[in-house]
A and B are shown apart, each in its own frame.
Chain A
Amino acid sequence: MLRIEHLTKIYADGTLALDDVSFEVPDGEFLVVLGLSGAGKSTLLRCINRLIEPTAGRIIWDGTDITAASGEELRQIRRHIGMIFQEFNLVERTSVLTNVLTGRLGYVNPWLSIFHHFPKGEVDRALRNLDRVGIADLAHKRADELSGGQRQRVGIARALMQEPRLMLADEPVASLDPVLAHSILRYLEQLNQEDGITVICSLHFLDLVRRYASHVVGLKNGRVVFQGLPEEITDQRFKEIYGEEAERVTVT
């Protein structure tokens, strides 16, 4: 179980991005974080694996205080938290296989890995994970030669290398067209249901939220303004999260 307690983030320029955020994520949940651009979704997700340092508050995961960890301990924690990104964040000019293998860097011998050496077993694991997201045939292509949907699948395969127990997905489909969006989210759903990986995913579109979320947290200006089941988001609630002028946009 992941418990977020009074999490606050104030950026160096004074921006209050998260304001006393508290909620719980039971294991096996598919939690969607909903909110307007600038609501603090990315900040929240990045605080969980400490890509961003929280200003105050605690994040407790299975009894470990993530916010108190540092150095080696923090890396051990990060190893078990996969992350995928809106912009995929692959290393361009590098092969798909190498990109996937980087997901394993927290596990392998650091000195050998610096010389781009990975044990055979890890290479096999990478190929299996690529197979799982349906792009085993692209293993030796360069990452910058792939389409957006293929890139995000590489991103998922990279995260899978970590054997994660928690998967953070920061608007994983915002750069993709609607059909691809479903295909990517179905992979996340599959991981959630078959492997029991907890997923925390930020999304923009209500239809996608209703389709995939098991639980929803609504953010507005860094505050939690909604917590509950996807069915509970009425149009009225939606307007509270997105502001009065919001229209429901449909994704088919």
Chain B
Amino acid sequence: MERKKSPVLSSILSLIIPGLGQVYAGSPSRGAAFFTAVAITALLVHWQGNGPLYTGVVVAWLWNVWDAYNLARERRISPALPFLVIALTLYIIGWRVTEINLRRLLTDVADVKPLVSNLFHPAVFERDIEKLVGEVQFESPCSDSPPPKGTPLEDEPYLVFVDKTCGDPGDTFTIEGGNFWPSSKGYIWWSNLAGEMQFRVRYKGNYLTFETDEEGRIPPITVVVQEPFAEAKGKGPQLYRVQARMQREVGSPHLSRTFFLVVEKMIVTIFLALMATTIAIFIAIPISFLAARNLMGGNPISMAIYYIVRTILNIMRSIEPLIMAIIFVVWVGLGPFAGVLALAVHSIAALGKLYSEAVESIDPGPIEAITATGANRLQTIVYAVIPQIVPPYLAFTIYRWDINVRMSTIIGFVGGGGIGYLLQQWIRLLMYKEAGAAVWAIAIVVAIMDYASAKVREIII
């Protein structure tokens, strides 16, 4: 006869530590469940520091006391209420930490418009660009012998100073010019003497533009003297180039440089997938035999090898290829080689597991029959094992190839080379038309490869 449990003691225990009363009442797993649920929720609510959310914890805690009381009286009550309360609390926290903000989807939709519209106008075609540049050299701050004002040229684009040719940052000066294309717009550029540091001059936030008259003359424009570049600070008077630039498209559209760059990187990407898959196949095949229980069972040493190989494969498989790529980028540097290594290592683990399962599911009958003829071990593998594993190996390899083609297009995002590297840079530089070309290329290539491998699969399996 079991000793009666005290409901009061049970409730008090659960009040002190959730679940303890349930353990006392002889339901340790129920107790553990309550403790874990209440403890995790309490910690999360505390971490969020949100007062009202404590209600959920309190409700669950009190309910747990009530449950302990009933358990001691040998009555089990449905835990639906605390379950719902805790679930609700967790979802509220989840909503907050993931910063879900449905309003932004509507209010900020304008931000994404240029991106989307550029994606549909990928930079596949372009026209040649013709440029005109005229320049003067400005000094800042002034020295004893400031530069000359310059003279108009006969038939080349030119600029000349109207008033001063030197000044401090923040001062203004005026320039004018001629021999540009008539009635067209252009921009003023500022650069150091060497020309490697340059930018378009802004005035009150907008780029400083000019428009030529019918004779191609630039009317006087006022330019603000720019702050010196970092390396010229405090070095005394420096010369700067002030340029007026114009450009226009000429000729008929032709395939763009972006297009050829995308094609080139796409080829690299496909080779990246090919190399990774091939390397993985050759390494995964022998490994798959070591990871097959039916081949490795029998003696303790081979069984130990089996467990070690299995464990390594499982660990390797749990590391995402993108993380793997980051490691290899640090190891062998940016570029496709890092991508090949990352995809290969992940594929070895994935294929090793799939292959070994194929080996494990083979019919032992033929092995038995061939062994019985007096064949040696190698002959038995060639005649009884290989014919059985070739079809599943092919199927898994094609499946992996599909995955690797997809992965290879984005492995570049973390520096693994190929089209992804380009795409990621273009997105960062807000070059959405170029990015659009890359996105389309990826979509087309992945679709073609999918279709091709489906066909191959039909034929050989």
Instruction: Please report the C-alpha to C-alpha distance between residue A176 and residue B387 in the assembled complex, in whole angstroms.
Output: 25
B378–A94 touching, CB < 8 Å: no
Q: Distance (Å) between the CB of B286 and the closest chain A CB?
A: 16
Stretch at the interface among A32-40, A98-106, A128-136: A98-106
- Chain A residue contacts of B375, Cβ below 8 A: 75, 102, 105-106
Main secondary structure of the interface of A (DSSP, over half): mixed
- Chain A residue contacts of B83, Cβ below 8 A: none
Q: Which residue of A lies closest to B381 (CB)?
A: A114
A91–B388 touching, CB < 8 Å: yes
- Say yes or no for B391: interface residue by CB 8 A criterion: yes
B373–A110 touching, CB < 8 Å: no
- Chain A residue contacts of B374, Cβ below 8 A: 75-80, 105-107, 162
Stretch at the interface among A81-89, A185-193, A211-219, A236-244: A81-89
Residues 152-181 of B, flagged 1 when their CB comes within 8 A of A and 0 if not, give 000000000000000000000000000000
Number of interface residues of B (CB under 8 A): 20
- Chain B residue contacts of A113, Cβ below 8 A: 379, 382
**Given A81-B372, A114-B382, A162-B373, list of 12 further CB < 8 A pairs?**
A75-B376, A77-B374, A85-B369, A89-B365, A89-B369, A91-B370, A92-B366, A102-B383, A105-B370, A106-B373, A106-B375, A113-B379
A158–B373 touching, CB < 8 Å: yes
Instruction: Please report the C-alpha to C-alpha distance between residue A67 and residue B88 in the assembled complex, in whole angstroms.
Output: 69
A91–B372 touching, CB < 8 Å: no
- Chain B residue contacts of A103, Cβ below 8 A: 373
- Chain A residue contacts of B365, Cβ below 8 A: 85, 87-89
Instruction: Please report the C-alpha to C-alpha distance between residue A107 and residue B373 in the assembled complex, in whole angstroms.
Output: 9
- Chain B residue contacts of A89, Cβ below 8 A: 363, 365-366, 368-369
Instruction: Please report the C-alpha to C-alpha distance between residue A75 and residue B387 in the assembled complex, in whole angstroms.
Output: 22
A51–B384 touching, CB < 8 Å: no
A51–B387 touching, CB < 8 Å: no
Known contacts A93-B391, A110-B378; is-contact A78 B373 (Cβ 8 Å):
yes
Known contacts A93-B391, A102-B375, A106-B374; is-contact A83 B369 (Cβ 8 Å):
yes
Q: Distance (Å) between the CB of A115 and the closest chain B CB?
A: 9
Known contacts A76-B374, A103-B373, A106-B374; is-contact A94 B387 (Cβ 8 Å):
yes
Instruction: Please report the C-alpha to C-alpha distance between residue A161 and residue B382 in the assembled complex, in whole angstroms.
Output: 18
Instruction: Please report the C-alpha to C-alpha distance between residue A82 and residue B376 in the assembled complex, in whole angstroms.
Output: 16
Q: Which residue of A lies closest to B367 (CB)?
A: A89
A114–B373 touching, CB < 8 Å: no
- Say yes or no for B371: interface residue by CB 8 A criterion: yes
- Say yes or no for A49: interface residue by CB 8 A criterion: yes
The 8 closest A-B pairs by CB, nearest first: A106-B374, A79-B374, A89-B365, A105-B375, A89-B369, A78-B374, A83-B372, A75-B374
- Chain B residue contacts of A92, Cβ below 8 A: 363, 366, 387-388
Q: Distance (Å) between the CB of B125 and the closest chain A CB?
A: 52
Q: Please provide the chain A residues from 177 to 217 with a CB less than 8 Å away from any CB of chain B in the complex.
A: none
Q: Please provide the chain A residues from 97 to 147 with a CB less than 8 Å away from any CB of chain B in the complex.
A: 98, 102-107, 110, 113-114, 116
- Chain B residue contacts of A83, Cβ below 8 A: 369, 372
- Chain B residue contacts of A156, Cβ below 8 A: none
What are 18 A-to-B residue pairs whose CB atoms are below 8 Å?
A: A75-B375, A78-B371, A78-B373, A79-B374, A83-B369, A83-B372, A88-B365, A89-B365, A89-B369, A92-B363, A105-B373, A105-B375, A107-B374, A110-B376, A114-B379, A155-B369, A162-B373, A162-B374
Partner of A91, one of B371, B376, B379, B387: B387
